[in-house]
Amino acid sequence: MSAPSSAANPTHDATPFADGSGPEWIITDGLTGYEEALAFMEARVEAIARGEAREAIWLLEHPPLYTAGTSAKVQDLVDPDRFPVFDARRGGQYTYHGPGQRVAYVMLDLTRRGRDVRAFVLALENWVIATLAEFSITGEIREGRVGVWVPRPDKAPLPDGTPREDKIAAIGIRLRKWVSFHGISINVEPDLEHFSGIVPCGITGHGVTSLVDLGLPVGMDDLDVALMATFAKAFPEPAAEA
């Protein structure tokens, strides 16, 4: 099964493992519609659960849109008419997706990898942190705040004296038959003003940043290489059954 593609949106397998082990890596150029992506994920997840398809990591970009997770609050959609809004049916609250943001949809079989949702989310966080470290960025996680954050000592603290931190990556997952879908998004060079139409992940006070906003001349291809290089450490292949 291959991801949706068109002449303007070619798709290619970028599997980094010479022996074909691990998940299939799919990279789709251009912008992929959200409903198209959701339909592909749901079909692929069902196929993985039936043992008819490999696990997959799908790297893509969306046109500007907002998605609502299962915990989304109506008041956090500040500008409901700005971009299309989709019910993502994943965990979390409101999230923005758009050009310049790398979305990684993670379709892994947790029956093979241990049915531990908390450990799976931690592995996603560690994968993002390790990827950012490839660019000498220190990503951190915070209790009660979903996603990966970057300290900003260069910015004025909040009114209560709390040091400023900006979000650089979001995480939201869903499981079906113990196969994951949805996943992570990392800001490479999106229009950060587009985040103002929502309260990102329901968190006020802190801001949003990107690799380019932090002064790094990083492109999407650079990030993809880093994601592939760090994946196996966060998600080692399960030992083969005897």
Whether residue 93 is annotated as binding a ligand: the answer is yes
Do 56 and 88 form a contact (C-beta atoms < 8 A)? no
Whether residue 183 is annotated as binding a ligand: the answer is yes
Whether residue 28 is annotated as binding a ligand: the answer is no
Tokens at 56, concatenated: 């997959």
What is the edge-to-edge ordering of all strands in the sheet holding 65-68?
Answer: 85-87, 65-68, 94-97
Please tell me what DSSP assigns to residue 50. T
Whether residue 96 is annotated as binding a ligand: the answer is yes
Whether residue 129 is annotated as binding a ligand: the answer is no
Whether residue 67 is annotated as binding a ligand: the answer is no
Whether residue 66 is annotated as binding a ligand: the answer is no
Whether residue 49 is annotated as binding a ligand: the answer is no
Whether residue 94 is annotated as binding a ligand: the answer is yes
Cα angle, residue 156 at apex, residues 72 and 101 outer, rounded to 5°: 45
The 3-state secondary structure of 71-105, one letter per residue: CCCHHHECCCCCCCEEECCCCCCEEEECCCEEEEE
Which residue among 65, 128, 168, 201 is the active-site one?
A: 201
For the CA atoms of the chain, what is the radius of gyration?
17
Whether residue 75 is annotated as binding a ligand: the answer is no
* Greatest C-alpha distance within the chain: 59
**Residue 160: other Cβ atoms inside 10 A:** 6
Whether residue 184 is annotated as binding a ligand: the answer is yes
Residues 6+ apart with CB under 8 A from 193: none
**Residue 64 CB-half CA count within 13 A:** 13
143 is catalytic: no
Whether residue 171 is annotated as binding a ligand: the answer is yes
Annotated binding site: 90-97, 170-172, 183-185
The residues annotated with a catalytic role in the active site are 201
Bind-site residues for substrate: 90-97, 170-172, 183-185
